[in-house]
């Protein structure tokens, strides 16, 4: 292949000695230049035209000395290489003098304009992209319009690569493999591997890449079928690449973390030696989320959609009922990605919902009639739900404020005093066994009564009586304890009295002794009193008064 710039143009722009040093012989170029899809004229236009790289002829020749001869060569140079090239061109080596070959003079220095350098770097990334997806280079594919589209999407990928990834989704008892697998694959889209491709490419179903590549979209570096730089990379990068094993090992690390300390860990263990993340993931899915599992989910979802009913006579609200419909529909959609199944249409979804509502509430029935009479709502599940929810009789009961509840209690206070409700329920405490025999309406009316003061008091008495029946010996124990306490008090009092009586006996004996030792009785003086006897008598009187 001849030199990319005609020698005549070089002679016109560069001194002869420098030109001789910059332009290799044609034979040498032919030996080192690899085949390229771009012609010499297209290559020259790519480097020199202002709408493209915008280099001068001399600067293009200088790049040839650095190894960038064809557009394909850009794929070998990264940012560090371009920094080195810029430095080399700014400080060129000495070249032989035109007058004397033995004398060396300083070569011509070159400065790559900032815009040209930026475009060269983007073009280098685009060349590597085409090489990675096995797409041939063309002049149109390397146009500045295509380069600009590529630059924006490539920057997005690089920015995501710098972001800190979130925690790996883990498999749990509540979040089994079937639910985990789609979440994990979505997570893999956010992890950029060493090849600047989302790690999900390791999990793609097709190992071999289809050739040739589908045609590029107009002014885009990717095909219409792929739709983006990222998706074309995921679909078309080869597994036969040195760095594929690094990405596969990274995927294994993620799968191992997800299954760690679970019953699924043994399924992953055999792939530890080879760090085969692809094999570990598909082993988990095949063994624990295979076709049989998905078919079971489909069967359960279809059964629930056609059999569950809303009657409005239990705590289940209409909103909860509608959420169950949504959950089962989503389950069918997820299963449809793994096994063939029929997904209910919008009209079928609404029909199944309406058929599942079997409630006599007049307001709800009126709303159902509105949905059936509206063709648009018959095709709009969410619209139908929005219309129906305000008429839920269960939600109305649950949504009463304390003030409303108190008002309701006041309105029926007369009925409460009568002792029986309109449902025939007797207002009293019910043991568990009796309470279970009541109807839902009787339980609801009884619950309102229990919020009254009388109801609260009766419930407390009933609970106490139930506790006493449950432990009948507790009252006997209390009585025995009281008897023991009384007996102890009586014994202590008797002991005290016994001591006092002993003291009386001693005093009486002493008094008798004193009386026996006195002379025969004579008419006593008006107030003859023996001091000792008088004191003993006073003490005796005190003691006697004590015993009453």
pLDDT tens-digit map of 183-213? 999 999 999 999 999 999 999 988 988 889 9
User: Which tens digit of pLDDT belongs to each residue from 12-58?
Assistant: 333 334 334 434 444 444 444 444 578 999 999 999 999 999 999 99
Residue 181 covered by a domain: yes
pLDDT above 80 for 243: yes
Looking at residue 406, its pLDDT comes to 52
* Helix pair 381-388, 346-355: axis angle to 10 deg: 30
Neighbours of 251 (CB within 10 A): 25
**Measured CA distances, 368 to 7, 327, 353, 378, 397 (Å):** 86, 22, 10, 11, 20
**Given 370, 397, 424, which residue is the final one in a domain?**
397
Tell me, yes or no, whether 491 lies in a domain.
no
Cα gap 275→307, rounded to integer Å:
47
Residues 17 and 135 in one domain: yes
Q: Is residue 476 part of a domain?
A: no
Q: In terms of domains, do 323 and 345 share one? A: yes
Confidence (pLDDT) at 544:
56
Last residue of a domain, one of 267, 284, 301: 284
369 and 328 share one domain: yes
Q: Which pLDDT value is given to residue 401?
A: 43
Same domain, 331 and 374: yes
- 453 in any annotated domain: yes
**Total number of domains constituting the chain:** 4
Asked which of 93-97, 155-159, 374-378, 532-536 is least confident by mean pLDDT, the reply is 532-536
Question: Please, which residues bridge with residue 198 across strands?
Answer: 192
* pLDDT higher at 308 or 397: 308
Q: What does the DSSP assignment read for 66-127?
A: TT--SGGGGGG--HHHHHHHHHHHHSPPEEE-SS-TTSEEEPPP----HHHHHHHHHHHHHH
For residue 306, give the 3-state DSSP assignment.
helix
pLDDT band (50, 70, 90) for residue 516: low
Dump the DSSP string for 310-362: B-SSSS--HHHHHHHHHHHHHHHHHHHTTS--PPPPHHHHHHHHHHTB----H
Instruction: Report the relative pairing of strands 104-106 and 94-96 from DSSP bridges.
Output: antiparallel
Q: Which pLDDT value is given to residue 500?
A: 66
519 or 514, greater pLDDT: 514
Whether residues 20 and 127 fall in one domain: yes
Regarding whether 456 and 374 lie in a shared domain, the answer is no
User: Which residues of 477-518 form beta strands (DSSP E)?
Assistant: none
pLDDT(413) > 90 = no
Shared domain for 181 and 119, answered yes or no, is: no
Q: Domain for residue 456, yes or no? A: yes
Q: Is 348:299 a contact under the CB 8 Å cutoff?
A: no
Residue 328 lies in a domain: yes
Residue 503 included in any domain: no
Share of the chain above pLDDT 90, in %: 48
Over residues 272-300, mean pLDDT: 89
Rounded mean pLDDT of 224-232? Answer: 94
pLDDT at 521: 53
Residues 386 and 417 in one domain: no
Do 109 and 200 belong to one domain? no
pLDDT tens string 54-107: 999 999 999 998 999 999 999 999 999 999 999 999 888 777 777 777 777 777
> Of residues 479 and 153, which shows the higher confidence score?
153
Q: pLDDT for 517-528, tens place per residue?
A: 654 555 555 544
> Closest Cα to residue 312, out of 380, 391, 393, 250?
393
Residues whose CB is less than 8 angstroms from the CB of residue 186 and which lie 6 or more positions away in sequence, other chains included: none
Share of the chain above pLDDT 70, in %: 77
Q: What is the pLDDT of residue 1?
A: 34
**pLDDT tens, residue by residue, 454-485:** 777 777 777 777 666 666 555 566 667 777 77
Length of the chain: 548
Residues 88 and 134 in one domain: yes
Please report which confidence band the pLDDT of residue 11 belongs to, taking 50, 70 and 90 as the band edges.
Answer: very low
What mean pLDDT value characterizes the chain? 80
Q: Is 339 inside any structural domain?
A: yes
pLDDT digits (tens, 9 = 90+) for 431-441: 887 887 788 77
The domain of 415 spans 411-470
354-383 pLDDT per residue, tens: 999 999 888 889 899 999 999 999 999 999
């Amino acid at each position: 292949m001849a030199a990319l710039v005609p020698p005549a143009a070089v002679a016109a722009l560069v001194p002869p000695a420098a030109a001789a040093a910059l332009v290799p012989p044609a034979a040498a170029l032919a030996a080192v230049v690899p085949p390229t899809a771009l012609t010499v004229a297209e290559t020259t236009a790519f480097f020199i035209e202002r709408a493209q790289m915008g280099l001068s002829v001399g600067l293009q020749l200088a790049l040839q000395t650095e190894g960038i001869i064809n557009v394909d060569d850009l794929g070998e140079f990264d940012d560090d290489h371009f920094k080195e090239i810029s430095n080399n061109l700014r400080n060129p080596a000495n070249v032989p003098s035109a007058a004397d070959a033995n004398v060396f003079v300083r070569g011509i220095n070159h400065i790559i304009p900032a815009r040209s350098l930026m475009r060269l770097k983007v073009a280098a990334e685009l060349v590597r992209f085409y090489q990675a997806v096995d797409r041939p280079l063309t002049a149109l594919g390397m146009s500045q319009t295509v380069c600009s589209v590529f630059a924006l999407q490539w920057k997005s990928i690089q920015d995501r690569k710098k972001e800190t990834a979130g925690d790996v989704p883990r498999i749990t008892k509540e979040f089994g493999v079937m639910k985990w697998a789609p979440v994990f694959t979505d997570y893999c889209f956010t992890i950029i591997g060493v090849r600047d491709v989302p790690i999900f490419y390791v999990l793609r179903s097709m190992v071999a890449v289809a050739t040739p590549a589908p045609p590029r979209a107009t002014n885009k570096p990717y095909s219409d079928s792929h739709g983006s730089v990222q998706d074309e990379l995921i679909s078309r990068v080869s597994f036969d690449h040195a760095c594929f094993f690094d990405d596969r090992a990274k995927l294994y690390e993620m799968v191992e973390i997800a299954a760690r300390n679970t019953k699924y860990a043994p399924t992953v263990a055999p792939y530890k030696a080879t760090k085969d993340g692809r094999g570990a993931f598909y082993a988990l899915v095949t063994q624990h989320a295979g076709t049989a599992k998905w078919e079971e989910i489909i069967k359960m979802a279809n059964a629930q959609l056609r059999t569950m009913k809303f009657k409005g006579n239990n705590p289940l609200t209409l909103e909860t009922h509608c959420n169950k419909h949504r959950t089962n529909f989503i389950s069918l959609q997820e299963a449809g990605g793994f096994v063939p199944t029929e997904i209910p249409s919008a009209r079928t979804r609404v029909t199944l919902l309406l058929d599942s509502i079997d409630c006599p509430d007049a307001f709800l029935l009126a709303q159902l009639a509105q949905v059936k009479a509206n063709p648009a709502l018959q095709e709009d599940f969410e619209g139908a739900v929005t219309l129906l929810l305000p008429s839920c009789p269960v939600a109305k009961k649950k949504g009463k404020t304390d003030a409303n509840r108190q008002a309701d209690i006041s309105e029926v206070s007369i009925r409460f005093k009568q002792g029986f409700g309109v449902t025939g329920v007797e207002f009293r405490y019910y043991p568990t066994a009796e309470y279970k025999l009541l109807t839902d309406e009787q339980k609801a009316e009884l619950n309102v009564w229990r919020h009254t003061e009388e109801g609260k008091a009766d419930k407390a008495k009933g609970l106490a009586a139930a506790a006493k029946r449950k432990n009948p010996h507790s009252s006997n124990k209390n009585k025995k304890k009281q008897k023991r306490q009384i007996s102890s008090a009586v014994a202590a009092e008797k002991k005290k009295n016994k001591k006092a009586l002993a003291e009386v006996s001693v005093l009486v004996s002493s008094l008798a002794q004193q009386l026996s030792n006195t002379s025969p009785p004579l008419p006593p003086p008006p107030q003859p009193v023996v001091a000792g006897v008088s004191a003993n008598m006073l003490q005796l009187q005190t003691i006697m008064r004590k015993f009453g």
